[in-house]
A and B are shown apart, each in its own frame.
Chain A
């Protein structure tokens, strides 16, 4: 039985394979919600779902797609915006 603080669901459980061919239960902090498009609300691709301290160490180019509105709008919404601006 784990200690009472670990019995709540505030931490997520991770099964890790451990040397010695053993599977152990580890308790990890929950990941934040995945990034979503500002237009349609779809899950953004190319935006990693990591804890802030991991995101901080990541390169800027690894955190979002390299295009206008990258990491804010999905590609479809961005295209719509560009086309609507032209006309």
Chain B
């Protein structure tokens, strides 16, 4: 049953249910398949052979197999070759670049550090100011009055009070 050009169906794996042609017989166990499946080595046990035999040379290429299958109305698998994309290579930085990076970092740090402090400080100040302004306005006026009054009064009172006190102990003595 197994011969080159025999149409088969795969019955195992992800290509199960797909038709293919035996292109080469590698071993008493393995054959090379091509067609709807990927071109691959396959165990004979994982194949169910059909009754058609194509005229194909041993080790025929994929194009020849595709043409032979077209006559039967079977489209061979079209593999899309991967487009080679240039891998980005990691380059070593020169010392100048490292210096520049460090400077940029420092600049960034300088930009960010004081801002945070300022913002906090401003916020604190503003809050204090908000809290303080209302209080200060109320306090400032009476304090001034008090200070003025206190400043004026003690000058008048102190000498008067001091004089008797100073005089009193003297009298007692």
Contact = CB atoms under 8 A, between A and B. Distances in A.
Interface of A: 66-68, 75, 78-79, 82-83, 85-86
Nearest to A85: B17
Contacts of B17: 68, 82, 85
Nearest to B8: A86
A67 B48 contact: no
A83 B11 CA distance: 8
Interface residues on B, range: under 10
Interface of B: 9, 11-14, 16-17, 48, 50
A82 B13 contact: no
Contact of B48 (A66, A78, A83): A83
Say whether chain A's binding surface is mostly helix, strand, loop, or mixed.
helix
Contacts of A75: 12
A82 B14 contact: no
A28 B12 CA distance: 38
Contacts of B14: 66-67
Contacts of A78: 11, 16
A86 B50 contact: yes
Interface centre among B11, B12, B13, B14 (most CB of A within 10 A): B11
Contacts of B11: 78-79, 82-83
B16 A67 contact: yes
A87 to B, nearest CB: 9
- Nearest first, the 8 A-B pairs at minimum CB distance are A79-B11, A66-B14, A67-B16, A68-B17, A82-B17, A67-B14, A68-B16, A82-B11
B16 to A, nearest CB: 5
Contacts of A82: 9, 11, 16-17, 48
